Amino acid sequence: MSDRSHTPPRGIDPRGPRFAAGITALLLLVDVFLGLTGLATAQVAGGWALTSATIVERFLDPAFLLLLALALLFLWSVLSPRTAPWGVLYRTLVQPRLDLPTELEDPRPPRFAQGVGLFVTAIGLVLHLLGVPWALPIAAAMAFIAAFLNAAFGLCLGCQLYLLLQRAGLVGRERPAAA
């Protein structure tokens, strides 16, 4: 048994992650558009433009660069949620103008959701660099759907995944000590 008492994590204002999801969804929507109109989906006489592009051309694709920036923001939110830009923006400009939240939420599921966003966007980035057509806009669209659902309806898919994994005993709980 652990000698330290288990105290639940401090809660966060649930409107903060929704605010961040709104900005993220908007940027992901732009990225989907860039991906659909850019190198990731373009065809040339010999097939896909992406497969004949150099690694530098793939890297400099505007859709890739924007998704890379979003992936880095997801990473930032996972590693240091208190200093992540959208959270800071919410706490300094938006939250002071609102009433106190009626209830707080556990910060672990939204943080896990940021990790899921990082994973999805990272897969799209890697596949794009490997020359897989459509991978980047599909990854951006998947992340957009999740961010949009969170921003518009408060449905956090990553949070729901966290809760399923928590019920299965895979995350969020201390494992009992072996006897």
pLDDT tens digit sequence for 78-103: 999 999 999 999 999 999 999 999 99
**What are the φ/ψ torsions at residue 163 (nearest 5 degrees)?**
-65, -40
- Alpha-carbon span 164 to 140, nearest angstrom: 24
- The better pLDDT of the pair 5, 170 is held by 170
List the chain domain ranges: 15-97+105-167
What are 48's strand-pairing partners? Answer: 43
What pLDDT digit, counting tens, does each position of 17-42 carry?
999 999 999 999 999 999 999 999 99
**Average pLDDT of 62-84?**
97
At position 8, the amino acid (one-letter code) is P
Question: What pLDDT digit, counting tens, does each position of 116-133 carry?
Answer: 999 999 999 999 999 999
Q: Is residue 38 a contact partner of residue 61, using CB atoms and an 8 Å limit? A: yes
Rounded Cα distance between 160 and 134, Å, is 27
pTM here is: 0.88
Q: Is residue 66 scored above 60 in pLDDT?
A: yes
